[in-house]
């Protein structure tokens, strides 16, 4: 199969949109990602997937910590900023949670230490141990078939 066909197939799976953030030598970095999931409840572990050629890869290795910020449907601009889809003149201001930079008003902020690392194909999977979290109310930003979308509740099916 061709790479494009595989990417299109993977794009059929609707995902939330996250900004991964870390800090190295006083400089904060962010990257939009959708490859994120929970792994374990005890201990509390999550996984993120970072491409072998992404600058964020070495930054997370250097810092040993990162945050996952689940964006709300009101935060498409933040996603576009950290995906390099749109340029901004102002510098983005991060908050902090347990000493890790986080995105303000994200639906969920997870502060993590790198627990483990696995190279798989052309990506590196970072297992993160969640140290702290903040939750907010709202609807998530969704990405599906190459487009941003909103979550919509379906009517219940009656028998």
Q: In this predicted model, what pLDDT tens digit does every residue of 107-146 receive, in sequence order?
A: 999 999 999 999 999 999 999 999 999 999 999 999 999 9
Round to whole Å and give the CA distance between 50 and 75.
21
**Torsions phi, psi of 43, nearest 5?**
-75, 165
Q: In whole angstroms, what is the distance from residue 136 CA to residue 90 CA?
A: 25
Architecture in CATH for domain 17-139: Roll (2.30)
Strand, coil or helix: what is 81?
helix
pLDDT of residue 5: 95
Residue 12 CA to residue 24 CA, distance in Å, equals 35
Instruction: Give the strand pairing for 147-150 and 123-135.
Output: unpaired
Domain ranges of the chain: 17-139
Q: What's the whole-model pTM score?
A: 0.93
The answer to whether residues 95 and 30 touch, using CB atoms and an 8 Å cutoff, is: no
> Which residues of the chain are under the pLDDT cut of 70?
none
């Amino acid at each position: 199969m061709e790479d494009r066909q595989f990417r299109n197939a993977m794009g059929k799976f609707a995902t939330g949109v996250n900004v991964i953030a870390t800090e190295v030598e006083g400089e904060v970095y962010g990257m939009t990602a959708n490859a994120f999931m929970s792994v374990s409840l005890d201990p509390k572990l999550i996984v993120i997937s970072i491409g072998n050629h992404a600058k964020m890869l070495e930054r997370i290795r250097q810092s040993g910590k990162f945050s996952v910020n689940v964006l709300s449907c009101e935060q498409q601009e933040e996603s576009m900023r950290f995906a390099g889809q749109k340029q901004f003149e102002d510098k983005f201001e991060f908050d902090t949670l347990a000493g890790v930079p986080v995105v303000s008003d994200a639906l969920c902020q997870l502060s993590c230490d790198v627990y483990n690392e696995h190279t798989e194909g052309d990506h590196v999977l970072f297992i993160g141990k969640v140290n702290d979290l903040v939750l907010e109310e709202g609807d998530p930003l969704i990405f599906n078939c190459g487009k941003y979308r909103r979550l919509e509740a379906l009517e219940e099916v009656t028998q």
